[in-house]
Chains A and B, each alone.
Chain A
Amino acid sequence: QVQLVESGGNLVKPGGSLRLSCAASGFIFSDYYMSWIRQAPGKGLEWVSYISSVSTYTNYADSVKGRFTISRDNAKKSLYLQMNGLRDEDTAVYYCARVLTPADVFDIWGQGTMVTVSS
């Protein structure tokens, strides 16, 4: 069964750091690009970052560039998001998603992990 399971969400103070993880199963993780997408309370989806299959390429939304770092460990079938300098506006449910190429769409999503940034 193809599955993505996120973890690591928590309550953190502004300026703090958090590391999210996403465990993949049921498919050859190293064959796929992966991405993080978030949804703030009452808002729509916002793409955050992507990483290529062997970590050669990454990119970030302007809103997180310089503060967030995406990485992956293909041996552990895991995706990560290191979030530093967290702000109130980073409060959201964070989803990891598999990127289906060449269509460049997100065909498998996890159920999300909640990050709350508040003093």
Chain B
Amino acid sequence: QSALTQPASVSGSPGQSITISCTGTSSDVGGYFLVSWYQHHPGTAPNLMIYDGSKRPSGVSTRFSGSKSGNTAYLTISGLQAEDEADYYCGSYAGYGTFLNWVFGGGTKLTVL
């Protein structure tokens, strides 16, 4: 499986909204409703922010939302805050039957100006 494609970096000012894209193929992003997004502050454990394309785990701010169109998934963060500055990774299920496997994006560094 090839890695999913994400922009290397995005930036925004506090209070603004940003969107990060994640492009795959019909074998992963386009083939399943199983896209997830992870927030990662280097040196710490990654945090699940979005799963099933648009669902938020308990405790994740409603400022984070996910969507998908065809082979591309999107993470939108509204009302940017300083603590949102982190690396963001998309992931997609890409397996079949009992041969589960996953593919991730290369990561997007979010800078809050």
Chain A contact surface mostly: strand
Please state if B107 and A44 are interface contacts (CB–CB under 8 Å): yes
Which residue on chain B has the smallest CB distance to residue A109?
B45
Please state if A44 and B51 are interface contacts (CB–CB under 8 Å): no
Contact of B51 among A46, A47, A105, A110 (CB under 8 A): A105
Chain B residues with Cβ below 8 Å from A57 are 98, 100
Shortest distance from the beta carbon of B35 to any chain A beta carbon, whole Å: 9
B103 interfacial by beta-carbon distance below 8 Å: yes
Q: How large is the interface on A (under 10, 10 to 19, 20 to 34, 35 or more residues)?
A: 20 to 34
Mark each residue of chain B from 78 to 113: 1 if its CB lies under 8 Å from any CB of chain A, else 0.
000000000001010101001111111111000000
Please state if A46 and B46 are interface contacts (CB–CB under 8 Å): no
A43 to B6, CA, bound (A): 12
CB-CB under 8 A for A106 and B45, given A44-B3, A50-B101, A59-B99 = no
A95 interfacial by beta-carbon distance below 8 Å: yes
Shortest distance from the beta carbon of A31 to any chain B beta carbon, whole Å: 16
Give chain B's interface residues, CB within 8 Å of chain A: 1, 3, 6, 34, 36, 38, 43-48, 51-52, 55, 57, 89, 91, 93, 95, 98-107
What are 25 A-B pairs at a CB distance below 8 A? A35-B102, A44-B104, A44-B105, A45-B46, A45-B91, A47-B91, A47-B101, A47-B102, A50-B100, A57-B100, A59-B101, A61-B101, A95-B46, A103-B34, A103-B51, A103-B55, A105-B34, A106-B38, A106-B48, A106-B91, A107-B57, A109-B46, A109-B47, A111-B44, A111-B45
